[in-house]
């Protein structure tokens, strides 16, 4: 594998001086202190708790989904570090954005709201349930019920085998948004991930059955191939036959995590063990160089957009959880998280040549290209900061043991669920365009731009709003 830790000099990285942020990754207190510094820098980007602003929103140029991803990261930050500094603002954001139907579909986000956007907020709520994050007041939407609401709406939007591409979710929920005619791996990955976690948390086999349905469809449509490559997606006009072969870290991670959850849920089922191991092996072989993760589709060219600059952090999150839930992966995954954390911390130099570019986060800003290590790249933002925080905080897992494994309803989980949560498809969805009459609405990841494979080339569909 390209990820050989011998070549990265892991020992030197773990105890090295890391410019403005000094972290000894063999010491939990040092890790927590470093993570606290990076978290402080992350919250400097957030304006939703300012007077007159909207809780749960990031300022331009960030889309709504990334704020949900950020607060999911902060739920984990509290859990692993014990620091509750940001719990109030996290609670406020996760509750404010639930929408009228308590399903993370606020009306003012309809112009940019895809299945994946909704999914990232739901996964934050699921993390809150699994980590026993403080529950909202009883008259407010509860974490488990919010995740169940999104699951139920995904079921309502799933296109059966008689429709285009033989099933699956589309990228966009509403017909009037660019990308409605695209099906992609991240939207279906959100469905797979949430269904897997609900199965484990509740013990309800229906959720696991749906996770299996998504997995099977991904393989049938060849968005996931026999070698566990996970490709971006395809347009429905060609019945999903012309696949964009771009591969992203967050796609690999979201399926790796879901497979590990199902391995855990099924008490070590051989099929899910094989799938988890296959995804782990391919993820490492494709995305890691000398123990450091690289966003291979765009990082080398310098063309990663704001969305893509956040993807590595989600891979760190899902690798860490996979190591907990499928312990046979721990000896492989945890050293990689450790090496990435050390490299990410070296990018948190806090020594910009252009302080104006840091938007007020001087002294705490983290760069993007971890493979450059001490050579600060000056590319900063929410995604870079969140990813560095993720890599650092997940090193606090004790060698992948189950001591910090997510809880379930039977092992201490306290979040209240609602199996009928969410709006019906008819209540939520606008009328379909004539060309898709009879089809259910569904969709995929709300990035600033997504590569569509067409006639051997590609083009970008820009998200409106």
Tens-digit pLDDT profile for residues 66-80: 999 999 999 999 999
Q: Is the pLDDT of residue 354 over 90?
A: no
pLDDT at residue 374, rounded to an integer: 63
Q: 169-211 pLDDT, tens per residue?
A: 999 999 999 999 999 999 999 999 999 999 999 999 999 999 9
Torsion of Cα atoms, 38 then 39 then 43 then 49, to 10°:
-170
Residue 168 has pLDDT above 70, yes or no: yes
pLDDT digits over 90-146, tens only? 999 999 999 999 999 999 999 989 999 999 999 999 999 999 999 999 999 999 999
Confidence at 9, pLDDT banded by 50, 70, 90: very low
Q: Which of 159-173, 189-203, 372-386 comes out lowest in average pLDDT?
A: 372-386
> How would CATH label the architecture of 5-462?
Alpha/alpha barrel (1.50)
Ranges of beta strands (E only) in 220-338 are 233-235, 243-244, 288-289, 292-293
How far apart (Å, rounded) are the C-alpha atoms in residues 188 and 169? 6
C-alpha to C-alpha distance for 39 and 337, rounded to whole angstroms = 18
**Separation between Cα atoms, residue 333 and residue 260, nearest integer Å:** 12
- pLDDT tens per residue across span 279-324: 999 999 999 999 999 999 999 888 999 999 999 999 999 999 999 9
State the CB neighbour count (10 A cutoff) for residue 351.
13
Please give the average per-residue pLDDT across 200-223, as a whole number: 98
Distance CA 74, CA 386 (A): 9
Rounded to whole angstroms, the Cα distance separating 308 from 448 reads 9
Give the lowest-confidence range in 54-68, 81-95, 295-309, 402-416: 402-416
Average pLDDT over residues 354-361: 46
Give the separation between CA 200 and CA 215, rounded to whole angstroms.
16
d(CA 10, CA 339): 6
Cα separation, 124 vs 309, whole angstroms: 19
Per the prediction, the chain carries an average pLDDT of 85
Domain ranges, ordered by start, for the chain: 5-462
For the chain, count helices (H), then strands (E): 14, 7
Closest CA to 151 of 106, 188, 178, 184: 188
Asked whether the beta carbons of 153 and 423 are under 8 A apart, the reply is yes
Angle between helices 330-347 and 270-287 (to 10 degrees): 30
Q: What angle do CA 354, 249, 6 make, to 5 degrees?
A: 85
Which residue from 372, 443, 391, 379 is spatially nearest to 178, judged by alpha carbons?
443
Q: Which residues, 6 or more positions from 47, have their beta carbon under 8 angstroms from its beta carbon?
A: 53, 57, 58, 59
pLDDT higher for 391 or 425? 391
């Amino acid at each position: 594998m390209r990820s050989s830790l011998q070549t990265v000099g892991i020992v030197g990285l773990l105890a090295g001086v890391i410019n403005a942020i000094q972290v000894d990754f063999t010491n939990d207190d040092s890790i927590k202190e470093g993570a606290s510094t990076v978290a402080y820098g992350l919250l400097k980007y957030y304006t939703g708790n300012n007077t007159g602003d909207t809780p749960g929103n990031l300022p331009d140029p960030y889309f709504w989904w990334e704020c949900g991803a950020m607060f999911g990261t902060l739920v984990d930050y509290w859990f692993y570090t014990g620091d509750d500094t940001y719990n109030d603002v996290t609670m406020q954001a996760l509750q404010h954005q639930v929408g009228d139907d308590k399903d993370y579909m606020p009306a003012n986000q309809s112009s940019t709201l895809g299945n994946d956007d909704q999914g990232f907020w739901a996964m934050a709520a699921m993390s809150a349930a699994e980590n026993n994050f403080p529950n909202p007041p009883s008259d407010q939407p509860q974490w488990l019920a919010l995740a169940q609401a999104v699951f139920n709406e995904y079921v309502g939007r799933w296109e059966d085998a008689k429709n285009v591409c033989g099933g699956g979710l589309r990228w966009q929920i509403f017909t009037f948004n660019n990308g409605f005619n695209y099906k992609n791996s991240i939207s279906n990955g959100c469905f797979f991930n949430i269904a897997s976690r609900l199965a484990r948390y509740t013990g309800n086999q229906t959720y696991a059955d749906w996770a299996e349905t998504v997995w099977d469809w991904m393989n049938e449509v060849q968005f996931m191939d026999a070698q566990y490559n996970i490709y971006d997606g395809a347009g429905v006009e060609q019945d999903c036959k012309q696949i964009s072969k771009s591969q992203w870290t967050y796609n690999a991670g979201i399926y790796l995590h879901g497979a590990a959850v199902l391995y855990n849920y099924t008490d070590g089922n051989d099929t899910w063990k094989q799938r988890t191991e296959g995804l782990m092996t391919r993820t490492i072989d494709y995305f890691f160089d000398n123990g450091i993760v690289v966003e291979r589709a765009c990082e080398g060219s310098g063309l990663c957009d704001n969305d893509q600059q956040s993807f590595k952090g989600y891979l760190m999150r899902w690798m860490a959880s996979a190591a907990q839930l499928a312990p046979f992966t721990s000896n492989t995954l945890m050293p990689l998280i450790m090496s990435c954390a050390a490299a990410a911390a070296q990018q948190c130099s806090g020594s910009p040549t252009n302080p104006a570019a840091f938007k007020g986060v001087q002294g705490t800003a983290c760069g993007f290209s971890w493979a450059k290590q001490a050579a600060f790249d000056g590319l900063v933002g929410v995604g870079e900061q969140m990813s560095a925080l993720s890599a650092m905080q997940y090193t606090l897992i004790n060698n992948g043991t189950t001591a910090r494994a997510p809880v379930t309803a039977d092992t201490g989980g306290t979040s209240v669920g609602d199996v009928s949560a969410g709006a019906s498809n008819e209540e939520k969805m606008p009328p379909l365009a004539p060309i898709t009459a009879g089809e259910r609405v569904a969709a995929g990841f709300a990035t600033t731009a997504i590569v569509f494979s067409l006639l051997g080339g590609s083009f970008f569909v820009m998200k409106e709003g």
